[in-house]
A and B are shown apart, each in its own frame.
Chain A
Amino acid sequence: MFARVMISPRLITAVLPAVAALVSCQRGNQADTAIDEGILIIGNAAEPRGLDHHLVTGVPESRLITSLFEGLASDHPYLDDVSPPGAAKSWDVNEDKTDWTFHLRRDGRWSDGEPVTAHDFVFSYHRLLHPDLAAYYADMLYFLVNAEDYNRNRRSKILLSNDRVPGATWEDFDGLDGSPDESVDTDGLGSPPEWERAGDEEARARFVRARGLDHLPPEALDWLLESPDDRYSWPASAAPEQIRALLTALREHHGEDLFEIANVGVTAEDDHTLRIRLRESVPYLPSLSCHYTWFPVPRHVVLAHGEITDRFTPWSRYPNLVGNGPFKLKEWRFHDVIEVERNPHYWDAENVRLNGIRFHPIENPYTETRAFLAGQMHASYTLPPDLAETIREKHPENLRQEPWVGTTFIRFNTTREGLSDVRVRKALALALEREQFVEHIFEGHTTAVSMSPEMGEYSPEPVLEFDPERARELLAEAGYPNGEGFPRYSLLISRSSARPQAETAQAMWDKHLNISITIENRDWGSYIAAQQNLEFDMASAGWVGDYLDPTTFLNMWMEGGGNNNTGWHSPRFEELLREAATKSDAAGRFAVLRRAERELMNGMPVAPISHHSRNYLLHEAVGGWYPKLLDNRPWKHVSLER
């Protein structure tokens, strides 16, 4: 009987379309369904390390956080140099651009309905800067007066500068450094040094230096007080009674949070007025405040789950997370999806166009592209360069290539023999055909003429060019005529996607300078560690700007900067940067910064190659999505329409 049913033609004609319909409608098109629901589905590159924006640093985190929180100003839908009001309705500023007053909107609400107040902002900046929270990105707030001293826990300086030490001021202790002295031998003291282990005088003295004056336990301070002069080397300018007074003050305030005393430049004048005082002139503060480090955290929620300094409270997880942005957290599954939905308490809720956003942390750009083309997504995070050609042919309407404030460069270790010679570095930089890189390797990039890309009014002096003649001359002058005797350096890369560019540089140097290099492909941890410890020759690297100002590309090259990693520094360069910080008029400031950048390029600790481009796929139904130099998406303006 079964066989008869099977071959019945009538049944086949009845079943086939049904099966076809089932198959096609089951898989329909997720993107289309989501358009009807008003839910945007996008690729977001990687699982965020977290959503507590005081504890993260990455780009995927940034995209999520800007949907959940809002700063004082907000991102304009399409203009890069305009920052419309956000949590603040308006602001006033003094002539120097160092003293700002933000007027918060009175209808500002957290997603649980509580009002957003100036105290929330003070609490947030306090928390980010709190030395015990150890936020990675605290230096983004060093613009605030005294913020750096507070964050670095320079207790003696804070006490001395704020009249907490009777009869002594910071000037009296000129040259005092209370931070740990890394050079002290901590043998027998443990790591970190422990007071209990320091038995004799000599060991205790070593302990004090190893810990640093600002980080001593009460016992150590007491011990110092017994005989201050013999047990510590004080600046000659400080009188014995002043030293005694400082130690007493340190003892008295031990364990105390010095935020109030430090007089950090953020205060709540009243519930809705926030005053921000800066240590230097920052005309671009509204734009800076769109960076998530400047966003508020909900004081009442953070404190409900723990102390101000607790890192791992569940306040920033689902369902506890409360924000002041256009959306609120709906679901969070690791490596799968983070979904946000419309926040009804948002002050501008009626102008939010989407009902929700699904962020998929897809690491593999090929997977993401396939999913987009299969109708599972509205926007991909990044398009692999080798697919660009096909997409341009077959789906030109979906391809987006937009300038992005970032630079690819080759970093030199200037402490290596050979590379320590600026002529060698210049020769290597001059032998790179940047046009070739841009045309064939970096899809959508533009050639770099200096370290920083053009940003608004600022354009750097064009320095870099392709000049093989000059390169060979410089190499000969440095003692390597025609590449003879040139050391075999290695070029460090960390991802297989960086292979083509490394192979191209390798071939160009071989062709124009007759030198050969090795390419070392390392895992990410080793790649980073090698650069930070200056255990490399050259490295292929990149840098993306945090805000629209050339300092985001220049400050990192100062001596001791955590991201310098070249061993290069120049007093003149740093002097120019300091000079620029005092200028409040944009034109004068940029002129000084141009000179600083020229100085950097004279030293050539890095050879910039190109400026970034954001390449991705975007569904035709997505509206309100414009190119942005910082790639910061103002989600509330994005819409979905058939």
Chain B
Amino acid sequence: MTDKPEQKSSLWKDAVLRLRKNHAAMVSLVLLALIVSACLVLPAIPGLLHDPNALNLPNKNQPPSAAHWFGTDHLGRDILARVLGGGRISIAVGFITTLVAVTIGVMWGAVAGYTGGRTDAAMMRTVDVLYALPFLIIVILLGKTLEPITGGLTDFFVNLFAGADADTRARNDTRAWVEPITTLVPLFVAIGALSWLTVSRIVRAQVQSVASQEFVEAARSLGLGHLRILFRHILPNTVGPIIVYTTLTIPGIMLFEATLSFLGLGVKPPYSSWGILIDEGANRMLSNFWLLFFPTLFFSTTLFSLNFLGDGLRDALDPKSAKD
């Protein structure tokens, strides 16, 4: 149980090696990289895609064609451009929120599970209270409270990128891409700070189970510090469920964004996200299936990839499979 630097790097090397042998994980990684880079890069290239917000009412509800590869929506907008543009928002929201939630959840659950006793009881009863609070009300109030902050943030970034003395048009153009991010990020950090409950319960259960095993007793009898035992010996053994739950949280959050936008807290029209596109598509799937198909395709592919990649990572990082 010594931890010389060389050994650590070889552990990492082993992990990467194992990951590269896992075909499902590698295919997923490539797909994920493709989708993420497509969403980030393609909409930024001028003239490549249609304007995702340009209305063309006479051209509404067109099936896929050479001009519009994914067809057009109920207002004649290009679905391809909207899916890629929406992907930016969904990916940003999904990852940031989940990161916040999982970090808090892992810490909370680990400490509660490891400490036990009164601390554990107090921490877990807090979780109970948070579970039962009407989340929707909190989110509505949160949105109202954050409004001045996000407003200020937007103005700050618009001034930064467009310059304070730019003309109205230029400022509005800058605002167009700044605003969806500045209004969403604070909100979703806040939501992340409220969505860690189940993670914490799962981690606590795992930590309790691992903490009672012999090797932890051994570490304790060696006189190692609590923090060290918790973070170096126990948590690595719970990484499997954590990764799995992390990859499971992302789709939920992405769809939750759509729900929130109907309360005015998510992305503002005419901008879109995968969740909103899927919701709009679900209502029209009988007549115009492509409205649902393409957003769902991107959404599902991303999440499939994430999950298989997560499984691969789990296997690769598992300290016990290193012995194989």
Chain A residues proximal to chain B, CB less than 8 Å: 366, 384, 386-387, 389-390, 436, 439-441, 483-486, 488, 495-496, 499-500, 502-504, 506-507, 514, 516, 518-523, 526
Contact = CB atoms under 8 A, between A and B. Distances in A.
Given A483-B168, A488-B172, A518-B268, 12 more contacts: A366-B283, A386-B284, A387-B284, A390-B287, A439-B57, A486-B168, A495-B262, A496-B279, A507-B53, A507-B270, A521-B262, A521-B263
Contacts of A522: 263-264
Contact of B261 (A366, A518, A521): A521
A484 B262 contact: no
Contact of A521 (B55, B57, B168, B269): B269
A504 B269 contact: no
Contact of A504 (B75, B144, B172, B279): B75
Interface in B142-186: 144, 167-169, 172, 175-176, 179
B57 A499 contact: no
Contacts of A516: 172, 175-176
A389 B264 contact: no
22 contacts: A386-B284, A387-B284, A436-B57, A441-B57, A483-B169, A484-B168, A485-B168, A488-B172, A495-B262, A496-B262, A500-B74, A502-B269, A503-B270, A506-B269, A506-B270, A507-B53, A519-B270, A520-B268, A521-B263, A521-B268, A521-B269, A523-B264
B263 A504 contact: no
Q: Is the interface of A mostly helix, strand, loop or mixed?
A: helix
| Residue picked from A436, A500, A520, most chain B C-beta under 10 Å | A500
B172 A440 contact: no
A526 to B, nearest CB: 8
Q: Count chain A CB atoms within 10 A of each CB in B58, B75, B179, B261 and give the residue with the most.
A: B75
- In this complex, the member of A436, A486, A488, A522 whose beta carbon has the largest number of chain B beta carbons within 10 angstroms is A522
Contacts of B144: 526
Contacts of B58: 440
A104 to B, nearest CB: 49
A386 B269 contact: no
B20 interface: no
Interface string B206-242: 0000000000000000000000000000000000000
Given A386-B284, A521-B263, A523-B263, A504 B57 contact: yes
A522 B260 CA distance: 10
Nearest to B54: A507
A507 B299 CA distance: 28
Interface in B265-324: 268-270, 279, 283-284, 286-287
A503 B172 contact: no
Contacts of B55: 503-504, 507
Nearest to B76: A440
Nearest to B258: A496
Contacts of A486: 168
A542 B2 CA distance: 73
B140 interface: yes
Contacts of B179: 518
